[in-house]
Each structure stands twice: as C-alpha cells, then as structure tokens.
C-alpha cells in the first residue's frame, strides 16, 4: 500500500478502537453520553473505511477480493456496515463494543500480510466469484452482529445488573434474526462456491480445508437455530451459543490459513 493509504488505514483502525473503548468506558463508569456518542465516531471511521475500499478497488482494477489484506479490508467494512445498521437510532447502543473488536482483529491480521496490489488472474474472473464472496461477507457480518449482541446480552443480564426486560428481549431477537440471516446467506455462499468450483477445479466439492471448516461452521449455526426453535433456548443460553459459534467463522477465514497449507481459496494469497 502507498504511505498515504497506510496512514489513512491506521487512522480508521484507531477511530474504531477509540469508539469501542468509549463504549466500554461509558458502560463501566455510567457515562451514558460516551456510549451514545460512539456510534457517531464509528460512522466517521466507516466513511473513511469506505473511501479506502473505493481507493483499493480503483487502484487494483477489481473488487477487493484477492489476498488477505483486501478480504480483510472489505470483510471488516461489511461488519461495520451491519453493526451500524443494527444500532441505528440507538436501538442497540452498546453493539459496537461487542462487534467491532472482530473488525479490528480482521483488519490487523490483514495489515500483517502482503498488502501489495495483486492482479486478478484469468482463472478467477468469474461472475460466481463475486456472488460467493458477497454472500460470504454478508454471512460473516451477520454472525459477527449476532456475536456482538450476545456479548452485550451476557453483560447486561449478569448478576447485579438491572436491565429492563424489554431491552434484553430486543437483544435476544437481534441475536436470533442475525443468526437466521447469516445462516441463509452462508448457505448461498457455500452453494455458489460449489458451482464456481465445478467450473474452476472440475468438481463441486473437494474437501478443501476452507470448504470443510466453512461447512462445519454452517452446521454449528444450524444446531444453534435448532436448539432455539425446537427446544426454546433463549436469553443467556442462546447468547453463549452465538458467542462461541463465531470461533468456527474465525477458523475457516483465518485459522486454516495459519496452520495448514494447500488451500486453493483466493484469500490465502499473501
């Protein structure tokens, strides 16, 4: 990346980090203004983040999808977008503190990889690539929002907390709806990836490490929804489920790349 791009990138990261800290500080010390002010700061960081995504798109000549850095830049953008949408008009003012650390983690990991512009090789120039990646970002963003809501729920419903039942019910509903949305978009991601894999590698499924972990992650969320719908797991039970389920997403997106070799997925470049 260019020096100016790098400066703006880290400015964006710092803004997000400060807003997360502001919400945690405000909640810990009863400073409600800090909690309510943070989403505005996140919007400022998001505007800068959007400019960086557009800059990279123009510079590379393709949607930012090649390499760890581009996927981190775009993937974190979707997480922040969905966090802002869920918290619009102070519906869930603490959500940023629960969800944005994952965006920071992804951006930090991407920055530690090769940040140079990678060309879009001919084999990857497929319409299915964009469908696959787009729904992957939607799914991971939704799962992160569900996890963030779960963290906030666990904090607010802890011993000694006096949180109105209506607020907890709304958080519980956000966890459920975000998980359903993520589960559906995750299924589309896997299906579109299989169709694309057929034309790219000659088979719909090859048990690639990323494919395998993505399937396992999807099944975990399926079990969580089953427990919610059929056995009535709500509140803290469901919150713990969505908090721990995010581990599968992190493993499939980053962990496989760190501990295993041989994956054919494009975000393993760099």
pLDDT of residue 172: 92
Mean pLDDT across 72-97? 83
Residue 264: the pLDDT is: 57
Confidence of residue 89 (pLDDT cuts 50, 70, 90): low
**What is the rounded (10 degree) CA torsion for 104, 110, 113, 117?**
-140
Q: Quick one: which of 17, 22, 5 has its CA closest to 76? A: 17
pLDDT of residue 130: 84
For the chain, the distance separating the N- and C-terminal CA atoms, rounded to the nearest angstrom, is 13
pLDDT of residue 268: 47
User: In the Cβ-directed half-sphere of 112, how many Cα atoms lie within 13 Å?
Assistant: 8
Range scoring the smallest mean pLDDT among 15-19, 68-72, 124-128: 124-128
More confident residue, 111 or 89: 111
**pLDDT above 80 (res 88):** no
Report the candidate in 110, 141, 154, 129 with the shortest Cα–Cα distance to residue 243. 154
Buried b (16+ CB within 10 A) or exposed e, 40-63: ebbeebbebbeebbebbbeebebb
Q: If you average pLDDT over residues 86-108, what whole number do you get? A: 81
Give pLDDT, residue 182: 95
Q: For residues 122 and 129, is the Cβ–Cβ distance under 8 A?
A: no
pLDDT band for 90, please (50, 70, 90 cuts): low
DSSP category for residue 178: H
- Residue 177 pLDDT greater than 70, yes or no: yes
Distances (CA, A) of 128 to 24, 192, 228: 41, 6, 33
pTM of this prediction? 0.88
Question: Per-residue pLDDT tens for 229-254?
Answer: 999 899 899 999 999 999 888 888 76
Largest CA distance in the chain: 59
Q: What would the pLDDT profile of 44-66 be if each residue is shown by its tens digit?
A: 999 999 999 999 999 988 888 88
Average pLDDT over the chain reads: 85
**Residue 85: what pLDDT?**
87
pLDDT for res 255: 62
SS3 label, residue 1: coil
Residue 10 clears pLDDT 50, i.e. is over it: yes
**Percent of the chain residues past pLDDT 90, beyond the cut:** 44
30 — phi, psi (to 5°)? 70, 30
For the segment 183-209, what is each residue's pLDDT rounded down to a tens digit? Answer: 999 999 999 888 877 777 777 777 777
Contact 204, 195 (CB under 8 A): yes
Q: Are 222 and 260 in contact (CB under 8 A)?
A: no
pLDDT per residue over 115-138, tens digit each? 888 877 766 777 788 888 899 999
pLDDT at residue 269 in the model = 44
Separation of alpha carbons 129 and 106, rounded Å:
21
Would you say residue 153 has pLDDT above 60?
yes
């Amino acid at each position: 990346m260019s020096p100016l791009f790098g400066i703006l990138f880290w400015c964006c990261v710092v803004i997000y980090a400060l807003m997360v800290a502001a919400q945690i500080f405000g909640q810990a010390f009863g400073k409600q203004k800090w909690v309510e002010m943070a989403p505005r700061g996140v919007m400022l960081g998001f505007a800068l983040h959007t400019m960086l995504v557009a800059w990279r798109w123009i510079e590379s000549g393709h949607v930012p999808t090649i390499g760890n850095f581009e996927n981190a830049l775009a993937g974190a953008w979707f997480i922040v977008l969905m966090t802002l949408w869920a918290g619009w008009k102070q519906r869930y003012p603490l959500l940023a503190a629960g969800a944005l650390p994952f965006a920071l983690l992804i951006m930090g990991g991407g920055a530690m990889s090769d940040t140079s512009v990678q060309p879009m090789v001919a084999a990857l120039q497929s319409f299915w690539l964009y469908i696959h990646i787009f729904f992957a970002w939607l799914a991971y963003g939704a799962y992160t929002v569900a996890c963030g809501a779960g963290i906030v729920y666990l904090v607010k419903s802890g011993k000694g907390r006096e949180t109105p039942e209506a607020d907890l019910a709304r958080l519980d509903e956000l966890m459920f709806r975000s998980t359903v949305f993520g589960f559906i978009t995750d299924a589309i991601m896997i299906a579109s990836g299989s169709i694309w894999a057929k034309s790219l590698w000659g088979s719909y499924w090859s048990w690639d490490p990323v494919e395998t972990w993505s399937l396992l992650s999807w099944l975990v969320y399926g079990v969580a929804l089953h427990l919610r719908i059929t056995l009535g797991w709500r509140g803290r039970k469901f919150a713990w489920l969505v908090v721990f389920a995010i581990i599968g997403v992190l493993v499939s997106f980053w962990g496989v790349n760190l501990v295993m070799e041989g994956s054919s997925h494009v975000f393993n470049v760099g």
